[in-house]
Structure 1
Amino acid sequence: MSRVKRPQLTGRAAVLAVVVCAIAMSLAYPVREYIAQRRNIAQLEQEKARELAAIKALEDRRRQLQDPGYIKRQARERLFYCEPGQKCYVVMDDRPGGGAETAAPKKAAVPPWYQTLWESVEAADTGKGRRARTGEEAGASRSPGSAG
């Protein structure tokens, strides 16, 4: 009996491999779309949770603003509202100590732009800059032929 060597890849195996590859290729795009849609759904659920939290905060604020006691308290604190018959005082500087040692150092007043511009024009006209030139700088700026 002689044995005939069969090829490793038979016709049926080749057809099966082609069919498996075709199925895998046809499923790749839908699986990718499925994953992208799941990611999109997760993002939308997070956004929904944020929006619901914002709605809850706004509803709490609406309930707070419907409270007449809160409105009166806010009017007194923010607008210095005083009801008829009450004596109200407003303290303008409520820092502790209030003395000169606790006061912040005053900033130098910045002159208006047109004053600064005019001063620079006057300085250019007289030949004086903002800083005084030293003798070395003055000597270096002279030309060699000038007497001086």
Structure 2
Amino acid sequence: MAGNRDRFSTATRLRLLGEQTAARVYRSQNRRQDRRSRLTGRAAFLALVMCTLVVALAYPTRQFVSQRNEIAEQERLTREARQRVEELRDEKARLQDDAYIERLAREHLHYVMPGETGYTMIDPDAARKHQEGREATDRPWYSNVLDDVDNADRPER
């Protein structure tokens, strides 16, 4: 009976309880670590898959954005070209009008109609500068051309 009592003594019970508890805690920690290591492995695999997808999609995405920008630029150039074509068509239509041509000839070429008297005002300062050998920048273009034709036969100074 003494052995029986020893078996159910408080110290023995506490020792057995402590061993059982320690075993449970040890098993629980092992399970958690196994779960953590599995979770870490899964997380690493998932991260690897995500990185692969990002890398795999990065180049096509960049190409797509680049091509969209290029398409937008080409559409802008097309709109500008169409606008320029319309302007040129309008100008062509205006150039078919004799009154418009006459007005351009009077304004830019200083033409006069038969019976009219044309006057050209000369700036005295510009004439003086020209006589001194300096080019006058505010003279009409045709005056410079005529002077160049007149001076073409003269020897260099």
Q: Which position in structure 2 is the counterpart of 1:80?
A: 111
Please give the residue correspondences for 1:37-48 in structure 2 after superposition, counting only pairs within 5 Å.
Answer: 37-48=67-78
How far does the alpha carbon of each residue in 1:45-90 deviate from its partner, in whole angstroms, 9 at most, with x for none?
22112212211110110110111222233344436253xxx41111
Scaled by the length of structure 2, what TM-score is found?
0.54
Give the AA of the match of 2:92: R
Amino acid at match of 1:80: Y
- Aligned partner (choices 124, 149, 156) of residue 103 of structure 1: 124
Structure ID, larger Rg: 2
Partner SS for 1:104: helix
Q: TM-score by structure 1 length?
A: 0.57
Matched with 1:30 is 60
Question: Does the 8 Å CA contact 2:94/2:100 hold for their aligned counterparts?
Answer: yes
Q: Where do residues 59-138 of structure 1 align in structure 2 (5 Å cutoff)? A: 59-77=89-107, 78=109, 80=111, 82=113, 86-93=114-121, 103-104=124-125, 106-107=128-129, 108-109=132-133, 115=157
Alignment RMSD:
2.8
Tell me by how many angstroms 1:13 deviates.
2.7
Match of 2:139 in 1: none
CA contact (8 A) 2:112 2:118 kept: no
Higher helix share: 2
Matched residues, number: 104
Unaligned 5+ runs, structure 1: 96-101, 116-148
What CA distance in whole angstroms lies between the structure 2 residues aligned with 1:72 and 1:63?
15
Given that 2:106 and 2:112 are in contact with CA atoms closer than 8 Å, whether structure 1 keeps it comes out as: yes
Q: Identity across aligned pairs (percent)? A: 31
- Partners in 2 of 1:81 and 1:91 — Cα distance? 10
Aligned residue type for 2:67: Q
2-side partners of 1:12 and 1:89: how far apart? 99
Change (3 A) 1:76 1:10: closer
